[in-house]
Amino acid sequence: MSDTSYGFIGLGNMGAPMCANLCAAGILPTVFDVAGSAQRAPGGAVVADSLADVAAQDTVFLSLPDGKVVAAVCADILAAPDRRVSTVVDFSTTGPAAAGEINAALAAGGITFVDAPVSGGRAGAIAGTVTVIASGPDDAVAALAEPFDAVSENIFHVGQTPGQGQVVKLLNNFLSATAMAATSEAVRFGLGHGVAMETILDVVNVSTGRNTASADKFPNWVATEIFNAGFAMALMTKDVALYFDEVRKAGAPDDIGAAMTTLWNAADTAMPGADFTEIYKYVGAKGDGA
Protein backbone atom coordinates (compact mmCIF):
# COMPACT_ATOMS: atom_id res chain seq x y z
CA MET A 1 0.00 0.00 0.00
CA SER A 2 1.45 3.39 -0.99
CA ASP A 3 1.61 6.44 1.29
CA THR A 4 -0.37 8.47 -1.23
CA SER A 5 -3.49 10.13 0.17
CA TYR A 6 -6.59 10.09 -2.02
CA GLY A 7 -9.71 12.17 -2.48
CA PHE A 8 -12.91 11.42 -4.39
CA ILE A 9 -15.43 14.00 -5.61
CA GLY A 10 -18.80 12.89 -7.01
CA LEU A 11 -20.65 10.03 -5.32
CA GLY A 12 -23.41 9.43 -7.84
CA ASN A 13 -24.49 6.34 -9.79
CA MET A 14 -20.93 5.57 -10.88
CA GLY A 15 -18.82 7.40 -8.32
CA ALA A 16 -20.33 5.88 -5.18
CA PRO A 17 -19.75 2.22 -6.12
CA MET A 18 -16.30 2.94 -7.55
CA CYS A 19 -15.37 4.72 -4.34
CA ALA A 20 -16.76 1.76 -2.37
CA ASN A 21 -14.42 -0.55 -4.28
CA LEU A 22 -11.47 1.67 -3.41
CA CYS A 23 -12.46 1.39 0.25
CA ALA A 24 -12.83 -2.38 -0.03
CA ALA A 25 -9.25 -2.52 -1.32
CA GLY A 26 -8.00 -0.57 1.68
CA ILE A 27 -7.74 2.73 -0.18
CA LEU A 28 -9.76 5.08 2.04
CA PRO A 29 -10.31 8.39 0.22
CA THR A 30 -11.54 11.66 1.63
CA VAL A 31 -14.86 12.18 -0.15
CA PHE A 32 -17.13 15.06 -1.10
CA ASP A 33 -20.42 15.32 -2.94
CA VAL A 34 -22.44 18.51 -3.24
CA ALA A 35 -25.65 16.48 -2.79
CA GLY A 36 -24.53 15.23 0.62
CA SER A 37 -21.17 13.69 1.43
CA ALA A 38 -22.15 11.86 4.62
CA GLN A 39 -25.30 10.38 3.06
CA ARG A 40 -23.48 9.08 -0.01
CA ALA A 41 -20.10 8.10 1.41
CA PRO A 42 -19.26 4.37 1.39
CA GLY A 43 -18.10 2.67 4.57
CA GLY A 44 -14.47 3.40 5.33
CA ALA A 45 -14.31 6.70 3.46
CA VAL A 46 -13.40 9.90 5.27
CA VAL A 47 -16.23 12.41 4.92
CA ALA A 48 -14.99 15.89 4.00
CA ASP A 49 -16.60 19.04 5.34
CA SER A 50 -15.83 20.83 2.09
CA LEU A 51 -14.18 20.40 -1.27
CA ALA A 52 -11.12 22.12 0.18
CA ASP A 53 -10.59 19.10 2.46
CA VAL A 54 -10.36 16.88 -0.62
CA ALA A 55 -7.92 19.30 -2.24
CA ALA A 56 -5.59 18.65 0.69
CA GLN A 57 -5.01 15.07 -0.59
CA ASP A 58 -2.27 13.97 -3.02
CA THR A 59 -4.43 12.42 -5.75
CA VAL A 60 -8.07 13.32 -6.37
CA PHE A 61 -10.56 11.27 -8.41
CA LEU A 62 -13.57 12.89 -10.08
CA SER A 63 -16.82 11.24 -11.20
CA LEU A 64 -19.07 14.06 -12.35
CA PRO A 65 -21.93 14.66 -14.82
CA ASP A 66 -20.20 16.66 -17.57
CA GLY A 67 -17.27 18.80 -18.61
CA LYS A 68 -18.69 22.05 -17.21
CA VAL A 69 -19.01 20.54 -13.75
CA VAL A 70 -15.53 19.01 -13.96
CA ALA A 71 -14.04 22.37 -15.00
CA ALA A 72 -15.80 24.16 -12.14
CA VAL A 73 -14.64 21.60 -9.58
CA CYS A 74 -11.07 21.78 -10.89
CA ALA A 75 -11.20 25.58 -10.56
CA ASP A 76 -12.27 25.14 -6.93
CA ILE A 77 -9.41 22.68 -6.36
CA LEU A 78 -6.93 25.18 -7.79
CA ALA A 79 -8.31 27.90 -5.53
CA ALA A 80 -8.27 25.80 -2.34
CA PRO A 81 -6.16 27.52 0.35
CA ASP A 82 -4.30 24.43 1.61
CA ARG A 83 -4.09 22.64 -1.73
CA ARG A 84 -1.80 19.64 -1.81
CA VAL A 85 -3.09 17.88 -4.93
CA SER A 86 -0.43 16.77 -7.40
CA THR A 87 -2.67 14.63 -9.65
CA VAL A 88 -6.32 14.86 -10.69
CA VAL A 89 -7.87 11.76 -12.28
CA ASP A 90 -11.17 12.24 -14.08
CA PHE A 91 -13.47 9.23 -14.51
CA SER A 92 -16.16 11.43 -16.10
CA THR A 93 -17.19 11.65 -19.75
CA THR A 94 -16.46 15.21 -20.85
CA GLY A 95 -15.28 15.05 -24.47
CA PRO A 96 -11.74 15.68 -25.69
CA ALA A 97 -12.08 19.45 -26.05
CA ALA A 98 -13.13 19.90 -22.43
CA ALA A 99 -10.41 17.49 -21.28
CA GLY A 100 -7.81 19.55 -23.11
CA GLU A 101 -8.99 22.77 -21.48
CA ILE A 102 -9.07 21.17 -18.02
CA ASN A 103 -5.57 19.79 -18.56
CA ALA A 104 -4.26 23.25 -19.48
CA ALA A 105 -5.86 24.87 -16.42
CA LEU A 106 -4.52 22.23 -14.03
CA ALA A 107 -1.06 22.26 -15.62
CA ALA A 108 -0.87 26.02 -15.08
CA GLY A 109 -1.39 25.31 -11.39
CA GLY A 110 1.25 22.58 -11.31
CA ILE A 111 -1.21 19.66 -11.25
CA THR A 112 -0.92 16.59 -13.50
CA PHE A 113 -4.16 15.55 -15.17
CA VAL A 114 -5.06 11.97 -16.09
CA ASP A 115 -8.12 11.68 -18.29
CA ALA A 116 -9.62 8.27 -17.41
CA PRO A 117 -13.26 7.84 -18.46
CA VAL A 118 -14.81 4.47 -17.66
CA SER A 119 -17.17 2.10 -19.45
CA GLY A 120 -19.31 -0.68 -18.04
CA GLY A 121 -22.24 1.14 -16.49
CA ARG A 122 -23.42 1.06 -12.91
CA ALA A 123 -23.33 -2.75 -12.84
CA GLY A 124 -19.65 -2.67 -13.75
CA ALA A 125 -18.98 0.07 -11.21
CA ILE A 126 -20.58 -2.04 -8.47
CA ALA A 127 -18.75 -5.21 -9.53
CA GLY A 128 -15.40 -3.46 -9.92
CA THR A 129 -15.20 -4.45 -13.56
CA VAL A 130 -15.45 -1.14 -15.42
CA THR A 131 -13.02 -0.51 -18.24
CA VAL A 132 -10.66 2.39 -17.50
CA ILE A 133 -9.59 4.29 -20.63
CA ALA A 134 -6.69 6.42 -19.43
CA SER A 135 -4.66 9.05 -21.20
CA GLY A 136 -1.86 11.06 -19.66
CA PRO A 137 1.87 10.86 -18.89
CA ASP A 138 3.35 7.37 -18.44
CA ASP A 139 4.57 7.97 -14.90
CA ALA A 140 1.27 9.43 -13.74
CA VAL A 141 -0.76 6.53 -15.14
CA ALA A 142 1.70 3.96 -13.76
CA ALA A 143 1.36 5.49 -10.29
CA LEU A 144 -2.39 4.80 -10.42
CA ALA A 145 -2.04 1.02 -10.83
CA GLU A 146 -3.28 0.25 -7.31
CA PRO A 147 -6.49 2.32 -7.34
CA PHE A 148 -7.21 1.42 -10.96
CA ASP A 149 -6.93 -2.28 -10.07
CA ALA A 150 -9.46 -1.74 -7.29
CA VAL A 151 -12.15 -0.45 -9.65
CA SER A 152 -11.36 -2.18 -12.95
CA GLU A 153 -10.55 -5.49 -14.60
CA ASN A 154 -9.54 -3.85 -17.89
CA ILE A 155 -7.18 -0.87 -17.80
CA PHE A 156 -5.98 0.74 -21.01
CA HIS A 157 -3.44 3.54 -21.41
CA VAL A 158 -4.45 4.84 -24.82
CA GLY A 159 -2.18 7.86 -25.15
CA GLN A 160 0.01 10.50 -23.53
CA THR A 161 -2.36 13.42 -24.07
CA PRO A 162 -5.40 13.97 -21.85
CA GLY A 163 -8.44 13.90 -24.14
CA GLN A 164 -7.39 10.78 -26.02
CA GLY A 165 -9.19 8.69 -23.42
CA GLN A 166 -12.30 10.76 -24.11
CA VAL A 167 -12.04 10.03 -27.84
CA VAL A 168 -12.08 6.28 -27.23
CA LYS A 169 -14.85 6.58 -24.62
CA LEU A 170 -17.07 8.61 -26.96
CA LEU A 171 -16.64 6.28 -29.91
CA ASN A 172 -17.42 3.36 -27.59
CA ASN A 173 -20.59 5.02 -26.27
CA PHE A 174 -21.61 5.93 -29.81
CA LEU A 175 -21.33 2.26 -30.76
CA SER A 176 -23.33 1.30 -27.66
CA ALA A 177 -26.04 3.86 -28.45
CA THR A 178 -26.20 2.72 -32.07
CA ALA A 179 -26.51 -0.92 -31.00
CA MET A 180 -29.33 -0.06 -28.59
CA ALA A 181 -31.25 1.94 -31.18
CA ALA A 182 -30.70 -0.51 -34.04
CA THR A 183 -31.64 -3.51 -31.90
CA SER A 184 -34.81 -1.74 -30.76
CA GLU A 185 -35.83 -1.18 -34.37
CA ALA A 186 -34.93 -4.71 -35.44
CA VAL A 187 -36.77 -6.36 -32.53
CA ARG A 188 -39.87 -4.27 -33.24
CA PHE A 189 -39.72 -5.48 -36.84
CA GLY A 190 -39.59 -9.11 -35.69
CA LEU A 191 -42.42 -8.67 -33.20
CA GLY A 192 -44.54 -7.13 -35.92
CA HIS A 193 -44.28 -10.40 -37.80
CA GLY A 194 -45.28 -12.52 -34.83
CA VAL A 195 -41.84 -13.69 -33.69
CA ALA A 196 -41.35 -13.64 -29.90
CA MET A 197 -38.67 -11.35 -28.45
CA GLU A 198 -37.00 -14.26 -26.66
CA THR A 199 -36.74 -16.14 -29.94
CA ILE A 200 -35.32 -13.13 -31.76
CA LEU A 201 -32.66 -12.66 -29.09
CA ASP A 202 -31.80 -16.36 -28.97
CA VAL A 203 -31.13 -16.37 -32.71
CA VAL A 204 -29.32 -13.03 -32.90
CA ASN A 205 -27.05 -13.83 -29.96
CA VAL A 206 -25.56 -16.87 -31.70
CA SER A 207 -25.45 -15.12 -35.07
CA THR A 208 -23.71 -12.20 -36.74
CA GLY A 209 -26.12 -9.60 -35.35
CA ARG A 210 -25.05 -10.13 -31.73
CA ASN A 211 -24.15 -6.88 -29.95
CA THR A 212 -24.09 -5.35 -26.48
CA ALA A 213 -27.79 -4.49 -26.64
CA SER A 214 -28.97 -7.92 -27.78
CA ALA A 215 -26.66 -9.78 -25.39
CA ASP A 216 -27.08 -7.63 -22.27
CA LYS A 217 -29.49 -4.70 -22.37
CA PHE A 218 -32.43 -6.52 -23.94
CA PRO A 219 -32.36 -9.73 -21.85
CA ASN A 220 -31.78 -7.87 -18.58
CA TRP A 221 -33.68 -4.61 -18.93
CA VAL A 222 -36.01 -4.63 -21.95
CA ALA A 223 -37.47 -8.15 -22.09
CA THR A 224 -37.97 -7.99 -18.31
CA GLU A 225 -39.63 -4.55 -18.65
CA ILE A 226 -37.43 -3.26 -15.82
CA PHE A 227 -35.83 -0.50 -17.95
CA ASN A 228 -33.34 0.50 -15.27
CA ALA A 229 -29.80 -0.11 -16.46
CA GLY A 230 -28.62 2.81 -14.33
CA PHE A 231 -27.64 5.13 -17.18
CA ALA A 232 -29.95 8.03 -17.98
CA MET A 233 -31.14 8.64 -21.52
CA ALA A 234 -30.07 12.26 -21.05
CA LEU A 235 -26.48 11.13 -20.42
CA MET A 236 -26.42 8.85 -23.46
CA THR A 237 -27.88 11.68 -25.54
CA LYS A 238 -25.13 13.97 -24.22
CA ASP A 239 -22.44 11.45 -25.15
CA VAL A 240 -23.82 10.91 -28.65
CA ALA A 241 -23.98 14.68 -29.18
CA LEU A 242 -20.40 15.06 -27.93
CA TYR A 243 -19.27 12.33 -30.31
CA PHE A 244 -21.07 13.93 -33.26
CA ASP A 245 -19.66 17.37 -32.45
CA GLU A 246 -16.10 16.04 -32.31
CA VAL A 247 -16.56 14.02 -35.51
CA ARG A 248 -17.76 17.12 -37.36
CA LYS A 249 -14.82 19.15 -36.06
CA ALA A 250 -12.47 16.45 -37.35
CA GLY A 251 -14.14 16.32 -40.75
CA ALA A 252 -14.64 12.56 -40.34
CA PRO A 253 -17.58 10.57 -41.79
CA ASP A 254 -20.69 11.44 -39.80
CA ASP A 255 -23.82 10.09 -41.53
CA ILE A 256 -24.61 7.53 -38.82
CA GLY A 257 -23.60 9.98 -36.12
CA ALA A 258 -26.08 12.50 -37.52
CA ALA A 259 -28.89 9.95 -37.56
CA MET A 260 -28.16 8.79 -34.00
CA THR A 261 -27.94 12.36 -32.71
CA THR A 262 -31.36 13.17 -34.17
CA LEU A 263 -32.92 9.99 -32.78
CA TRP A 264 -31.51 10.24 -29.26
CA ASN A 265 -32.29 13.96 -28.99
CA ALA A 266 -35.89 13.29 -30.00
CA ALA A 267 -36.22 10.39 -27.55
CA ASP A 268 -34.74 12.38 -24.68
CA THR A 269 -37.10 15.27 -25.38
CA ALA A 270 -40.10 12.94 -25.51
CA MET A 271 -39.10 10.93 -22.40
CA PRO A 272 -37.48 13.20 -19.79
CA GLY A 273 -35.93 11.30 -16.91
CA ALA A 274 -35.95 7.97 -18.78
CA ASP A 275 -33.32 5.25 -18.60
CA PHE A 276 -31.42 4.88 -21.86
CA THR A 277 -32.88 1.39 -22.42
CA GLU A 278 -36.27 3.08 -22.83
CA ILE A 279 -35.21 4.07 -26.34
CA TYR A 280 -36.98 0.79 -27.14
CA LYS A 281 -40.28 2.35 -26.06
CA TYR A 282 -39.63 5.45 -28.15
CA VAL A 283 -38.80 3.44 -31.26
CA GLY A 284 -41.96 1.40 -30.71
CA ALA A 285 -44.11 4.49 -30.28
CA LYS A 286 -42.78 5.83 -33.59
CA GLY A 287 -43.69 2.55 -35.24
CA ASP A 288 -47.19 2.82 -33.79
CA GLY A 289 -47.57 6.21 -35.41
CA ALA A 290 -47.14 8.24 -32.22
- Give pLDDT tens digits for 205-235: 999 999 999 999 999 999 999 999 989 999 9
Q: Do 57 and 91 have their domain in common?
A: yes
pLDDT over 60 (residue 274): yes
Residues 14-33 have a mean pLDDT of 97
Q: Do 135 and 171 have their domain in common?
A: no
Domain containing residue 232: 167-287
Q: Do 44 and 129 have their domain in common?
A: yes
Q: Do 131 and 191 have their domain in common?
A: no
pLDDT over 90 (residue 89): yes
Q: Do 154 and 187 have their domain in common?
A: no
Residue where a domain terminates, one of 129, 160, 191: 160
Residue 290 pLDDT: 43
pLDDT over 90 (residue 86): yes
Residues 109-125 have a mean pLDDT of 96
Confidence of residue 249 (pLDDT cuts 50, 70, 90): very high
Q: Do 151 and 272 have their domain in common?
A: no
Between 115 and 122, the higher pLDDT residue: 115
Residue 104 lies in a domain: yes
Residue where a domain terminates, one of 160, 178, 203: 160
Residue where a domain terminates, one of 98, 130, 160: 160
How many structural domains does the chain have?
A: 2
Q: Do 94 and 42 have their domain in common?
A: yes
pLDDT over 60 (residue 69): yes
Q: Do 74 and 99 have their domain in common?
A: yes
Residue 60 lies in a domain: yes
Residue 1 pLDDT: 59
Catalytic one among 169, 217, 238, 281? Answer: 169
Q: Do 264 and 133 have their domain in common?
A: no
Residue 191 lies in a domain: yes
Residue 179 lies in a domain: yes
Compute the distance between CA of residue 220 and CA of residue 78 in angstroms, rounded to an integer.
43
pLDDT over 50 (residue 283): yes
Q: Do 94 and 189 have their domain in common?
A: no
Catalytic residue at 169? yes
Residues 242-266 have a mean pLDDT of 97
Q: Do 24 and 140 have their domain in common?
A: yes
Residue 37 pLDDT: 86
Least confident of 19-23, 38-42, 130-134, 263-267: 38-42
The structure's pTM equals: 0.92
CB contact at 8 A, 278 and 271: yes
% pLDDT > 90, the chain: 93
Residue 192 lies in a domain: yes
Residue 288 pLDDT: 63
CATH number of the domain at 95, please. 3.40.50.720
Residues 42-64 have a mean pLDDT of 97
Q: What is the 3-state secondary structure (H, E, C) of the chain?
A: CCCCCEEEECCCCCHHHHHHHHHHCCCCCEEECCCCHHHHCCCCCEECCCHHHHCCCCEEEECCCCHHHHHHHHHHHHHCCCCCCCEEEECCCCCHHHHHHHHHHHHHCCCEEEECCEECHHHHHHHCCEEEEEECCHHHHHCCHHHHHHHEEEEEEEECCCCHHHHHHHHHHHHHHHHHHHHHHHHHHHHHCCCCHHHHHHHHCCCCCCCHHHHHHHHHHHCCCCCCCCCEHHHHHHHHHHHHHHHHHHCCCCHHHHHHHHHHHHHHHHCCCCEHHHHHHHHHHHHCCC
CB contact at 8 A, 280 and 239: no
Summarised one tens digit per residue, pLDDT across range 151-186 is 999 999 999 999 999 999 999 999 999 999 999 999
| Torsions phi, psi for 41 (to 5 deg) | -70, 135
Residue 78 lies in a domain: yes
Residue 1 lies in a domain: no
Residue 286 pLDDT: 74
Q: Do 138 and 210 have their domain in common?
A: no
Residue 105 lies in a domain: yes
pLDDT over 70 (residue 118): yes
CB contact at 8 A, 165 and 158: yes
CATH number of the domain at 229, please. 1.10.1040.10
